[in-house]
Each structure stands twice: as C-alpha cells, then as structure tokens.
Structure 1
Amino acid sequence: MLSCSGRLFMTYFTGLLGGIIFYFLHLPLPWILGSLMAMIAYKFTFSQKVIYSTFLKNISYVILGIEIGNTFTDHTFQLISPYVVPYLLFSVMLIAISLLFGFLISKIIRLDAATGMLGAVPGGLSAMIALSDSIKSNTVYVTIFHTVRLLAVLFIVPFAAVHFFAHGETGQRASLAIQTDDPLFWTVFAYPLFFYLAYHLRNRVPANYILIPMLSTAFLNIAHLPAYPLPDVFSIGAQVMLGVYLGQSVSVKELIKSGRYVLIFCFLSMVVIGISFIFGYLFHLMTSLDMATSMLSIAPGGLVEMALTAQTAGGDPSVVGSLQTIRVLMIVLILPLMLPHIPGIKGRSR
C-alpha cells in the first residue's frame, strides 16, 4: 500500500502522463483534458479514492488567472465595451433557456424543480453546489448533472473551436501571455500577494482564485506596468493540476447509478451547447469579433478553459476572459436572488 504522500504523487504523475499523451496526439487542451481523462481511467481501473491537494488546485487557478490577466492591454476594456450589451442579451437568453429546459425536464422525470434548474444552468460547479445547498435541492444530482455538462463542454467546445471556428495562427501553446511592452521582473513578487488577497476574499468574491489574480494582473498591464510572464512550465503544471482536480470530481459510479438522468442531462448539455453556437454566430455577425472569440465568449464553459481554447484557436483570450467573467458574476450574483422566488422553489429558512 502506498503512503498518503505516495498516493498524492501517483495522482499528479498519472495526470501528467495523460497530459503528455494528449499533447502528442495534438488534441485541444491537452494538459487539462489529458490529466482529466487519466484520472477517470485511474479511478475506474484501480477503484481507488484519488488523493489530491486543495492547495495545489487553488495555486493552479491563481497561475492561470495571472496567465489570462497577462493577455489584457489598456485597449481590452475599450474593445469589449461596445459588445457588453449584446453579450448580456445573449447570455441572459442562454441562461433563461437553460433554466426553462431544466424546469420542464424536472416535471417530465418527476425531479424537484430546483434540482432540475440548477443542474441545467451554465454556471460553475462549485457555485452551483453551494447554491443547491442553500435552497435545499438535491446536491448530489446537481453535482452529477454539472459533471456531465462539464465533460460535454470540455470535449465538444474546444474540438469545435479548433477545427471549425479557428482562424489565423493556431497551436498548442502552453502559455497565454501576450506581451506588448517589456515586462517588469519585479512584478513576480506581486503574485504571492494576489494569492493572499484571493484567500482572504474567498467568502466575498466568486471564483476568487481566478478573478482576483486575473484582474490584478490586468490592472498592472493597463497601468503600463507589464507583468512578468511565468515560464511555460508553470502554465503546464497549473493545467495538469486543474485537470486532476476536475478528474477526481467525476464519480463514474454515481454517473452509472444515475442512469437515465445522466443521459437526459447529457442531451440537454449538447442542446445548450448547440444553442450557444447559434448565439455565438449571431454575436459574431453583430460585432467585429472573429468567430472563435465570439463562440468561446458565449459557450457554456469555464472561464479558464475557454480562454485557453481561445489561444489555441487563434481567438482573443482577453476578450473571452472578460466576457466570460461578466456571465460568471451575473450567475453567482443574480441567480441566488431570483431562484427562491420561482414557484415551487423555497430557500432555506434562516
């Protein structure tokens, strides 16, 4: 039997091997998807509980937040300002359609409305679990449904973006950073401060370990204090650690046990992804954004994953990161206020 530290090493070593295999197969998001699939295969083959580090997971978010922030320039917010209103329109429509589908499915399969709607909304897994607990829905099912959505998005959207929506230079860059000015080395000493701020604001800022480093690094660049880009090995390590975290959160046994619910919500996820592609195309026609950037900005995926995919597909990761941040904030700030007022859904009494 391996010791605790030995099992922890095996977890991340297995994830790294999966990333290497996916990289040499030239698959999209190789370090994230490769380590994710390696974790699922490892758990299924050896039937062992995977040990991972929450600290390393948080560090990975901080590193990737810095990487995304380093793609921002003083023109980024000027660039996205004309697109905010149409983006909000499409995002609200996508969220509303998802909630409606979730509500209708809950009536068909006799699932409570709160669980069906929370399982369908294109929000972050951790945020939806917390919201599920607060309104007394079935948190186990919400977790499973969002796991299905996560897997569908991670495998469908990057593939489609790279093979159908990509333009210009594409490739498997490990790092997102795009520098227009000479970077200042002293800025690396600010990175631990970003982690410190994210940790202490964890109960006040949604997606804190991503948003705070991303926005802080973006502020440095906008203030003409260009942040020093981290070496590619940091980005690769962060993506592997993120993939390991996502992979360990997938319970194959729970997916199998949930049976028809999983199939229904898998189909729903694909429908929502298809609708997001339609909205992304319309968003592209209404704006001057390229196809890859438009599609990935509206796609119901995670902020980090979509920004990384934008780099691979030749899109603009700073625009994708900015617009995805708007939707994240909209979901985690507005949805908790709205859901308890829907008939059939009641919040936890205080």
Structure 2
Amino acid sequence: MKVGNALKRFLVTLAIALGAGFLFSLTGLFLPWLLGPMAAFLILRQVTNMKFHWPKVFRTLGLLLLGVQIGAAFTQESVLLMAADLPYMFIMTIAVVVFSLGLGFVFQRMTRVTMSTALLGSMPGGLSQMVLISEEVKSANVTIVSVMQTFRILLIVFTVPLTAGLLSGRASGDITETAFRFSPYAFGIALVFGYVLYWIMKRISFPARELMAPVLAMAVVQTLTGSDLIDLPGLVIIIAQVLIGTHLGLSMEKLGDSLDGRIAGAVFLNTVLLIAFSAGLAYGLELLLPEYLFLDFFLSAAPGGMAEMTITALEAGADVPLVTSFHLFRLFFILLVAAPLVSYYVKKLDAKSGY
C-alpha cells in the first residue's frame, strides 16, 4: 500500500471513529466512544467495500492506557479485600465455564455441528485462543468456531455495557479519594517490571499481554510500596475507548458470508442465556456479600472481554479491582485448566470417531 493511500485511509478511519463517538455521546448512550466507532465500522464492513487503515500499534496503545488506568485502581486495601474473595472467584468461574459448556451441548443439538465445534465455540476463553485450539482438533470447524466467538463477543460488548448503564453504580462522592503519593523510584520499578512481564508473556503467547502487563506491574508495585504510580485524566479513558472500539469494529469481517440463520439464532439464544445466568450469579453473590453492588458482580461474571468489561466498570462506578480480579482469575483458569481439558476431551472423541 502506498504511503499516500495509507494516510488517506487512516484519516478517513480516524474521522469516522471520532464522528461516530461524538454522535453516540450526544444520545446519552453508555460508553459512546467505544460503542460508536465499533458500531460504525461493523456496519460499514458489512454493507460497503470501503478500505480502512488503523495501525496495530493503536490497539496496543489503547490496551496499555487502559491497563495503566486499571492498575492504578489497585491499592493495598483493595488487594487484601480481594484475597478474601478468592472462594467466590472460584465458584463463579466454575459456574460460568460449566454453564457455557452445557450451552455447547445444546448448541450441538440445535445446529448439528460436531461436538468439538460446539464446545470450543461456546467456551468463554477469547476468540484467538479458542480458534488456535480448534485448529489442532481435526473435527472442529475453525470457521464456525470463529463466527460463534465473534458473534457472541459482539452481542456481549453491546448489550452488557448498555445494561450496566441502567444499573446503579457508585457516585463519584461514594468512592474514597486518597492523597496522591507519587514515588519516582516506585514508578521506575513498575516500568521495568512491566516490560519484563510483557516480554515473558510475549514469549509464551499469553493473551492480552498489552493489557495484563501494566495491570499486574502497577498492582504489584502499588500494593508492596503503598505509593501511587500515576494519576491519569479522564480523557485517557476516552482515547482508549476510541482506539479499542475502532479496532474491534474493523476486526469484524462480513458475518453473513459464514453465518447462516440456524447458527445465528443458536448463538443469540446461547448468549442471552449466558448473560441471564451471569445476572443470576451476580444476584446470589450480592445477597452473600451486601457490601458490594449487583453491578460489581454482574460485570465480574459477564462473559465479555476483560478490556471491555473493565472499561465498563470504570465508567459505571463499579469496583474496578474486583471486576478485574474476577476476569483475571477466570482467564487463568480457562487457559490453564478448562481449555486443555476440553481440548483433550474432543481429541478423544475424534480418536473414537476415526478422525
């Protein structure tokens, strides 16, 4: 691609992203700077042949900004409180994963795809991870797994933030403000630690490392030192929303090319049931732990991406460290336990079926 054409496409892409975000902000919708660009490019990718250009470094920058903002929410007090919540993280994670796999069996009966395709497409472990696993399973249809994961993410990213916008979060006055205690020494340690974490995660192909490395680095250093590493303005969240929302919208290929009516209906039904199940879990945990809000647990249980759910938590007034910790725990559990077990199970099915 010539430099001139690339620049023109980038400027057009940027103008559409900012314009869509601005229009959504006028409507009063929740997360306008994320959902606006995402909706605009999703529609344009489906109905036009327009060419866009959005450098990958912008996605990385958006995730880094978000990771820094999330990490800044972790304090010594919040980490100690989270340690007491580990049993609830385990229970919620097991419940969501088991229910998702149960929906996979239902999906298989509804669509008659192979069992491996249904289970890998239903696992809430992220698009890239499940597609990579499906490529190693002979009976899995990689295209359908990709479509199932993409369509479910699309529905969740639109519906959960909009639902969260209707729920009661914490007002700004309800959030305890502490004096900002900046330590250059601690900030330098966090930069080095974050870079090392990112390098390790990149070597082992860990997902969302651009987000995870700054979150973990800042959380660890702030917890151990008691210092505040950085105090970012609210404009940072808007920039992160635009960068991430544009990337998400452009990543959605023409869904109609590989999404027939039966599969679309089954994915829609499964997603609605999974969101309803997450809401039920959140209600039960709110009864057990009344010091938290329903919104806290709803965003913690929601099977969306960690980046999207934590942006929602930041904007809605939810407990950001709690939501982040639940998603981190679920991510590690799925990658280290659930996904390998499901992969082993479907490969055993393949062996019995002669694939």
TM-score (ref. length: structure 1): 0.88
Report which stretch shifted further, 34-43 or 130-139. 130-139
- What does 1:57-68 correspond to in 2, within 5 Å? 57-68=59-70
Describe the SS at the equivalent of 1:163: coil
Cα distance change of structure 1 residues 295 and 250 upon mapping to structure 2, 3 Å threshold:
same
Aligned to 2:215: 214
Describe the SS at the equivalent of 2:76: coil
Please state how far the C-alpha of 1:269 moved relative to its aligned partner: 0.3
2: CA distance between counterparts of 1:48 and 1:203?
36
Letter in 2 for 1:85: P
Q: 2:72 touches 2:229 (CA, 8 Å); kept in 1?
A: yes
Cα distance change of structure 1 residues 197 and 94 upon mapping to structure 2, 3 Å threshold:
closer
- What does 1:325-340 correspond to in 2, within 5 Å? 325-340=328-343
Aligned to 2:254: 252
Cα distance change of structure 1 residues 315 and 243 upon mapping to structure 2, 3 Å threshold:
same
Describe the SS at the equivalent of 1:123: coil
| Aligned counterpart in structure 2 of residue 262 of structure 1, from 257, 261, 264 | 264
Please state how far the C-alpha of 1:265 moved relative to its aligned partner: 0.4
For structure 2, the 5+ residue unaligned runs are none
Cα distance change of structure 1 residues 179 and 200 upon mapping to structure 2, 3 Å threshold:
farther
> How far does the alpha carbon of each residue in 1:293-346 deviate from its partner, in whole angstroms, 9 at most, with x for none?
111111111112212212222211111111111011111111232013325656
Q: 1:179 touches 1:226 (CA, 8 Å); kept in 2?
A: no
- What does 1:41-190 correspond to in 2, within 5 Å? 41-136=43-138, 137-169=140-172, 180-184=179-183, 187=187
2: CA distance between counterparts of 1:115 and 1:109?
11
Letter in 2 for 1:309: T
Figure out how many residues of one structure are paired with residues of the other and give that number. 343
Q: Please say which structure displays the higher CA radius of gyration.
A: 2
Cα distance change of structure 1 residues 7 and 196 upon mapping to structure 2, 3 Å threshold:
farther
What is the CA RMSD across the aligned residues, in angstroms?
2.8
Cα distance change of structure 1 residues 67 and 298 upon mapping to structure 2, 3 Å threshold:
same
Q: 2:190 touches 2:218 (CA, 8 Å); kept in 1?
A: no
Describe the SS at the equivalent of 1:71: coil
Q: 1:134 touches 1:347 (CA, 8 Å); kept in 2?
A: no
Please state how far the C-alpha of 1:169 moved relative to its aligned partner: 4.3
Cα distance change of structure 1 residues 105 and 68 upon mapping to structure 2, 3 Å threshold:
same
TM-score (ref. length: structure 2): 0.87
1: CA distance between counterparts of 2:6 and 2:81?
49
Cα distance change of structure 1 residues 165 and 138 upon mapping to structure 2, 3 Å threshold:
farther
Aligned to 2:194: 194
Q: 1:68 touches 1:214 (CA, 8 Å); kept in 2?
A: yes
Letter in 1 for 2:158: F
- 1:22 maps to 2:21: no
Please state how far the C-alpha of 1:280 moved relative to its aligned partner: 0.8
| Aligned counterpart in structure 1 of residue 296 of structure 2, from 293, 297, 304 | 293
